[in-house]
Chain A
Amino acid sequence: MVAGLLLVTGGAAAGVFGALLGLGGGILIVPLLTLGFGLPLREAVAVSLVSVIVTSSAAASVYLQRSTANLRLGMSLELFTASGALCGGLLAYAIPERVVAGLFAALLAYTAFSMIRRREPAPPAAAGAAAGTRATPGAGDPPSPAPAAASVADRPSVADRLSGPGYRVRNLPAGIAGALFAGVVSALLGVGGGIVKVPVMNLGMGVPLRVATATSNLMIGITASSSAIIYLLRGGIDPYVAGPTAVGVFVGASVASRLAHRVDVRILRLLFVVVVAYTAYEMLGKALA
Chain B
Amino acid sequence: MSASQAAGGPGPGAAHERRLERAVGRLLSLGTLAGVVLLAIGVAGMLAAGLAPLTTVAPALDLARLAADLAALRPEGFLWLGVAVIIATPSARVATALVGYGLEGDRRMVGIAVAILGVIALSVAVAMATGA
Q: Are A165 and B8 in contact (CB under 8 A)?
A: yes
Q: Say yes or no: B86 contacts A57, CB within 8 Å.
A: yes
A229: min CB distance to chain B, Å: 5
The interface bits of chain A over 229-240 (1 if a CB of B lies within 8 angstroms of the residue's CB, else 0) are 110111111111
Residues of A within 8 A of B22 (CB): 64-65
Interface of A: prevailing SS: helix
Interface residues of B in 46-78 (CB under 8 A from A): 46-47, 50-56, 58-61, 76
Most buried by A among B22, B27, B88, B119: B119
- B80 proximity list for chain A (CB < 8 A): 239
A134 touching B8 by the CB < 8 A rule? yes
B116 touches A222 (CB 8 A): yes
Q: Per-position contact with B for A4-45: 1 when CB-CB < 8 Å, else 0?
A: 110110000000000000000000000000000111000000
- Residue of A4, A161, A163 touching B52 (CB-CB under 8 A): A4
Whether B32 and A5, one on each chain, are in contact in the complex, defined by CB atoms closer than 8 angstroms, is no
How distant is the Cα of A225 from the Cα of B35 in the complex, in angstroms? 14
Are A240 and B32 neighbours in the complex by a CB distance under 8 Å? Answer: no
How many angstroms between the C-alpha atoms of A184 and B26 in the bound complex? 29
Q: CB-CB < 8 A to A156: which residues of B?
A: 2-3
Interface Cβ pair total, 8 Å cutoff = 222
Interface residues of A in 76-95 (CB under 8 A from B): 76, 78-79, 82-83, 85-86, 89-90, 93
Quick one: which of B42, B46, B54 contacts A38, CB cutoff 8 A? B54
Binding site for B on A (CB under 8 A): 1-5, 7-8, 37-39, 50, 53-54, 57-58, 60-65, 67, 69-72, 75-76, 78-79, 82-83, 85-86, 89-90, 93, 134, 147, 150-151, 156, 158, 160-161, 163-165, 221-222, 224-230, 232-244, 246-247, 250
Task: Give 7 nearest A-B pairs by CB, closest first.
Answer: A221-B90, A64-B25, A233-B127, A239-B79, A61-B28, A240-B53, A160-B3
Q: List 22 A-B contacts (CB under 8 A).
A: A4-B43, A37-B54, A53-B87, A58-B32, A61-B25, A62-B25, A63-B25, A71-B17, A85-B123, A89-B123, A160-B3, A163-B3, A225-B91, A229-B124, A232-B61, A234-B127, A237-B83, A239-B83, A240-B56, A243-B39, A247-B43, A250-B36
